[in-house]
Each structure stands twice: as structure tokens, then as C-alpha cells.
């Protein structure tokens, strides 16, 4: 979008890409336009909104419990949640969805208790932005939670209290324009986005992400582990909980069940329930100062276990862990110790140290062979690439090559999530190795990033090529 100026039709490597709505794409393209394409600008939007969930839970917990201490405890519960910290630092849509859905739920509950129109408007706006982030799932989660809560409490609010004359136009004004424009420009959008990406993905094995029904239980356990002793008291307290707290419990339960029933599961799907869980746990964490210290000790144990696993991983292949891996692991352990030793002085330092500790673990993981980024491969290849050099990606498509090159690549012998774009890009896709070899022969200046196994096949065919560089996943070859 930043390069082409087309902010209506999302594309990946120049191919139409309709899996998700455009809000995160718009935001990231805007940041690119101002600050350039870098690792931090790519992650700015999701990481920023993961972080903004912290003041959000503080404000709501303080309001619903009438206690600043409970607000602080809610922040601590979320900041020391390993699952939330890990996912919140990834370049995914789930963090922004979590923020907007949490804002919608909290604003809705504020409106329910105060009957102030502004809160319902904020809820409608937040829900609209959630739809523009990840689609109809936002409406399903919100609508089902409202219905179940009304049935459970036998309390049906008057439609007038929802201020539909204002909230519906606000919601529609934010969501509808893009769906109209993209459908007019791309007639194939409606069927793929609404039918294929929502209903087919949820109800069938089409996405090839089939997992057992208990799949999300392991991630929920990881999220709750630092506060595991508070889970049972929090669950028991729901029997006498106020309506807003019961609403949050319904929200968490339905989110977990909804995605557990789906035929397509990814570990990040249950992230939207984490801020609500933090609010539910807050009063029980606030009861005793020892709760925070116990949580930091558990976090330290998790860091140590992860550090040992990462350090030992290369040893399976009789390799010594690279220096960056060990350096980041040392940083992670030191920060986890700081979190423990500072727990008596308050929540802010332990929370910050915990977040940075898990960040250091992720940095260590990213430096662990095989490398997942193509940054060094692109750097080694860039001197050979001129403005007229033809670029190919054969047998694979690595997400990081095109951004680091600042160029799109012609795709061949691979479809994956680009299958839809390939099907609607006539003449651009290379379907066979023979077709690529023929195209390659006609070029005088070309570079291809190739699946390693294919290089031997090309050599056996007598295809002229020169290896420029390689890493664990790709080989860069040149025609000239």
C-alpha cells in the first residue's frame, strides 16, 4: 500500500490478498510512509496496542471495583501473563483485535451501569475498528456474549439504552465504506472473504489447522500460571459477582469455547480474553502482597526452563549455541531476577522487567539456527541487484525477503496463503520447474531465491546459474 498508493485492495507480493480487513495494513503503511520500513515500524501497531491494553485494564478494574489497588493488580496480572507478553510482541492482527474488543466490552459495561450515551458510542466505534481489524469474528464474539449474559442474568435491557440512532450510524460509517469500495473494484472479494475466510475456515478443514478440542487449554494454562493459586477463588466468587464481572466471565468462556469448536485453530486466537481475565483476577491478587512475589518467582522459573531449552537446542545437532543466543538468554535471566527482587517495592518494575525478560527470550529464539529471517541473505545478495534485475521466488515464499529488498518477486512452484492471489494473477505465476527454467534462460539479468532442493534439480537440467549466497532455508542464484 505504501509503495503503490492503492489503499483499497490489499496485496501480498503484488498478489491480491483478501484474508483479513485492512486496518492493520493501513496503520502499518502509514508508519512506513513516515518512518520507513524497519523491524520496529513493522511491529509498531500490534505492539503498541498490546501495551495499551495495560492502561485499559487499569482504568476498568479501578472503576468496577472502586479501588486503585485492584486496578494496579489487573495491570500486574496482564503484564506478568507469559502468553500475552509473547503474542503481544509478534507482528500479528490479534493484539489490535484484543485492544479494540476489550475497549468495546469495557465501554459497553460502563454504558450499562451509567446509561451514558458516550460510552455506548465508544463501544460501537471500538467494535467497528475490531471488525476492520479481523472481520466478522468481532461481531460474533460480542453479540453472543451479550445474548448469553442476558439469558444468564434474566435481565433484558431496553433497546433504547443502546442509543441505536447514534451507535448504528457510527458503526456503519466506519465499517461499510471499505467493504463497498473493495467489492466494487474486486468482484471476487465477497465470496472469498465472507464465505471462504469466515464460514469455510471455521466449519471445515480447508485451512489445514485442525487441532484437538483441548488445544487452547495449554495456552490458557501458560497465561494463568503466575496466578494459578488465584484461579479457584476467582471462579468461586462468580456466584455472587456483579453483572459486569459476570459479563466478563461469559466473554472469556464463550471466546474459549467458540475457538475450541472451530476446525481452524491457531495459538493466538484466544488472546482477546486475556485483559478480561486480568480484571477477573485483580481483586484476589490485590488481597495479599505475596501474590505478586509468587508470580515473579513463577515467571523466573518459566524463564529458566525456556533458557535451558533454547541453550540446549543446538546441542541436539552437535552444535554450540551461537553467542547472540547465549547473550540474550543471560539478559532474560537477569531481568527475571530483577523482577523477583523488586516485587516488594511495587508492581511497575517487576512488570516491566518481566515483559523485557520474555522479549529477550524471543530475541534469543530468533537468533537460534535455523534463522527465520532473510535479512542477512538479502544483505549478501543486494549488491548484485540492479533496477532492472528480474527477481523470482521459487518453491517458497519467505515473508521477509520482499520488504528487505523493497521489491516484489515473481512467484513459482509455491502457493500457500497466496493461492487466491495466484489464481487471480494470470500470466504471473510459474507453475512448473520447466517453465521457470525456460523463463530463466530468456533473462540476462535475474536473481532467484530458491528452495535448496530445487538447485540440484536445476543444475542437473543444465540450467545456467551461479550461487550468490544461502542460509538455512534459501539459496540465492544469479543468471549472469
Q: Looking at the predicted structure, is the pLDDT value of residue 346 above 90?
A: no
Handedness of CA 417, 423, 427, 433 (dihedral sign): positive
User: In this structure, is the dihedral angle defined by the CA atoms of residues 441, 410, 190 and 206, taken in order, positive or negative?
Assistant: positive
| Residue in the structure block whose three cell numbers are 482504568 | 59
In 162-253, where do the E strands start and end?
none
The pLDDT, as a whole number, for residue 115 is 77
What percent of the chain is modeled with pLDDT above 70? 99
The pLDDT value given to residue 447? 98
Give the chain's radius of gyration (CA, Å). 25
Residue 160 has pLDDT above 80, yes or no: no
At 89-142, the pLDDT tens digits run 999 999 999 999 999 999 999 998 887 899 999 999 999 999 999 999 999 999
| Total length of the chain | 480
Determine if the peptide bond prior to 16 is cis (ω within 30°): no
pLDDT in tens, 222-273: 999 999 999 999 999 999 999 999 999 999 999 999 999 999 999 999 999 9
Whether omega before 370 lies within 30 degrees of 0, making that bond cis, reads yes
Of 318 and 354, the structure prediction assigns the larger pLDDT to 354
Same domain (yes/no): 339, 197 = no
Q: Contact at 8 Å (CB) between 133 and 140? A: no
Cell of 314: 543446538
Return the C-alpha cell found at 181. Answer: 469500495
In DSSP notation, 265-326 reads --GGGGGGGHHHHHHHHHHHHHT-THHHHHHHHHHHHHHHHHHHHHHHGGGGGT-PPPHHHH
Give CA–CA dist 58/73, Å, rounded: 8
pLDDT tens digits for range 446-458 = 999 999 999 999 9
Mean pLDDT of 460-468: 95
- One domain for residues 220 and 311: no
> Which residue shows C-alpha cell 534463522?
371
On average, the pLDDT of the chain sits at 94
Strand ranges (E), 401-470: 410-412, 446-450, 466-470
Which of 228, 262, 286 terminates a domain? The answer is 286
430: in domain: yes
| pLDDT tens digits along 28-68 | 999 999 999 999 999 999 999 999 999 999 999 999 999 99
- Whether the CB-CB separation of 473 and 396 falls below 8 Å is answered with yes
pLDDT value at residue 133:
98
Which pLDDT value is given to residue 318?
Answer: 80
- Is residue 289 over pLDDT 90? no
* pLDDT mean over 293-300: 95
Q: What angle do CA 83, 85, 89 make, to 5 degrees?
A: 120
Whether residue 183 sits in one domain with residue 166: yes
**pLDDT in the model for residue 205:** 87
The mean pLDDT value for 396-403 works out to 93
Q: Are 343 and 350 in contact (CB under 8 A)?
A: yes
Same domain for 310 and 382?
A: no
Task: Give me the mean pLDDT over the 424-429 stretch.
Answer: 87
Residue-wise pLDDT tens digits, 365-380: 999 988 889 999 999 9
Quote the pLDDT of residue 319. 85
Q: Are residues 91 and 191 in the same domain?
A: yes
| Same-domain pairing of 407 and 460 | yes
434 and 323 within one domain:
no
Is the same domain home to 56 and 143?
yes
Q: What is the tally of structural domains in the chain?
A: 3
Tell whether 270 and 313 lie within a shared domain: no
Task: Let me know whether 399 and 338 are in one domain.
Answer: no
Range of the domain at 381: 375-478
Q: How far apart are CA 18 and CA 192, in angstroms?
A: 7
**76-104 pLDDT per residue, tens:** 999 999 999 999 999 999 999 999 999 99
Is 354 in the same domain as 242?
no
Place of cell 505465476: 429
- What is the predicted pLDDT for the residue at 3? 86
Q: Which helix (H) or strand (E) holds 205?
A: none
Q: Per residue in 86-104, is it b (16+ CB within 10 Å) or e — as a string?
A: bbbbbebbbbbbbbbbbbb
CB 19 within 8 A of CB 207: no
CA 416 to centroid of chain Cα atoms: 19
Give kind and range of the element (H or E) at residue 59: helix 39-65
- Portion of the chain with pLDDT greater than 90, in percent: 86
Buried/exposed code over 441-460 (b: 16+ C-beta within 10 A; e: otherwise): eeeeebbbbbbeebbeebee
Domain end marker among 254, 286, 318 = 286
In contact, 382 and 389? CB cutoff 8 Å: no
| 3-class state of residue 275 by DSSP | helix
Answer with the one of 309, 340, 366 that is the final residue of a domain. 366
CA dihedral of 435, 441, 443, 444, whole degrees rounded to 10: 160
Indicate if 245 and 323 belong to the same structural domain.
no
Per-residue pLDDT tens over the stretch 194-223: 999 999 989 988 888 899 999 999 999 999
Buried-exposed string 3-39: b where 16+ CB fall within 10 A, e elsewhere? eeeeeebbbbbbbbbbbbbbbbbbbbbbbbeeeebee
pLDDT at residue 158 is higher than 70: no
Amino acid at each position: 500500500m505504501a509503495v503503490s498508493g492503492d489503499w483499497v485492495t490489499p496485496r501480498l507480493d503484488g498478489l491480491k490478498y483478501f484474508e483479513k480487513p485492512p486496518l492493520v495494513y493501513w496503520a502499518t503503511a502509514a508508519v512506513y510512509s513516515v518512518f520507513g520500513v524497519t523491524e520496529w515500524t513493522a511491529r509498531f501497531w500490534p505492539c503498541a496496542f498490546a501495551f495499551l491494553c495495560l492502561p485499559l485494564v487499569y482504568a476498568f478494574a479501578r472503576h468496577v471495583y472502586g479501588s486503585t489497588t485492584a486496578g494496579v493488580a489487573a495491570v500486574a496480572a496482564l503484564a506478568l501473563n507469559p502468553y500475552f507478553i509473547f503474542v503481544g510482541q509478534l507482528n500479528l492482527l490479534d493484539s489490535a483485535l484484543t485492544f479494540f474488543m476489550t475497549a468495546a466490552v469495557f465501554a459497553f459495561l460502563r454504558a450499562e451501569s451509567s446509561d451514558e450515551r458516550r460510552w455506548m458510542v465508544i463501544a460501537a466505534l471500538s467494535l467497528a475498528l475490531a471488525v476492520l481489524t479481523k472481520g466478522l469474528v468481532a461481531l460474533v464474539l460480542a453479540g453472543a456474549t451479550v445474548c448469553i449474559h442476558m439469558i444468564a442474568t434474566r435481565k433484558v435491557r431496553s433497546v433504547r439504552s443502546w442509543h441505536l440512532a447514534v451507535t448504528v450510524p457510527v458503526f456503519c460509517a466506519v465499517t461499510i465504506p471499505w467493504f463497498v469500495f473493495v467489492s466494487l473494484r474486486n468482484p471476487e472479494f465477497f465470496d472469498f472473504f465472507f464465505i471462504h475466510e469466515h464460514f469455510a475456515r471455521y466449519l471445515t478443514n480447508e485451512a489445514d489447522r485442525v487441532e484437538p478440542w483441548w488445544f487452547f487449554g495449554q495456552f490458557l494454562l501458560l497465561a494463568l500460571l503466575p496466578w494459578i493459586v488465584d484461579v479457584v477463588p476467582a471462579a468461586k466468587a462468580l456466584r455472587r459477582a456483579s453483572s459486569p464481572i459476570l459479563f466478563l466471565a461469559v466473554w472469556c468462556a464463550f471466546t474459549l469455547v467458540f475457538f475450541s469448536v472451530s476446525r481452524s485453530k491457531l495459538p493466538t486466537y484466544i488472546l482477546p480474553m486475556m485483559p478480561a481475565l486480568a480484571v477477573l483476577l485483580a481483586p484476589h491478587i490485590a488481597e495479599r502482597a505475596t501474590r505478586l512475589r509468587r508470580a515473579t518467582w513463577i515467571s523466573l522459573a518459566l524463564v529458566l526452563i525456556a533458557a535451558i531449552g533454547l541453550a540446549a537446542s543446538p546441542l541436539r545437532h552437535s552444535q554450540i549455541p551461537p553467542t547472540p543466543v547465549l547473550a540474550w538468554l543471560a539478559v532474560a535471566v537477569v531481568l527475571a531476577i530483577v523482577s523477583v527482587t523488586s516485587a516488594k517495592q511495587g508492581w511497575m518494575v517487576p512488570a516491566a522487567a518481566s515483559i523485557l525478560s520474555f522479549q529477550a527470550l524471543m530475541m534469543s529464539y530468533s537468533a537460534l539456527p535455523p534463522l527465520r529471517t532473510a535479512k542477512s541473505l538479502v544483505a549478501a545478495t543486494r549488491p548484485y541487484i540492479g533496477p532492472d534485475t528480474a527477481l523470482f521466488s521459487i518453491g517458497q515464499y519467505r515473508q521477509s525477503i520482499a520488504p528487505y529488498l523493497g521489491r516484489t518477486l515473481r512467484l513459482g512452484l509455491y502457493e500457500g496463503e497466496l493461492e487466491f492471489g495466484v489464481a487471480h494473477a494470470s500470466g504471473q505465476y510459474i507453475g512448473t520447474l520447466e517453465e521457470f527454467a525456460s523463463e530463466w534462460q530468456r533473462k540476462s539479468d535475474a536473481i532467484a531465491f530458491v528452495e535448496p532442493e530445487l538447485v540440484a534439480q536445476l543444475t542437473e537440467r543444465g540450467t545456467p546459474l551461479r550461487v550468490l549466497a544461502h542460509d538455512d532455508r534459501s539459496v540465492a542464484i544469479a543468471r549472469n
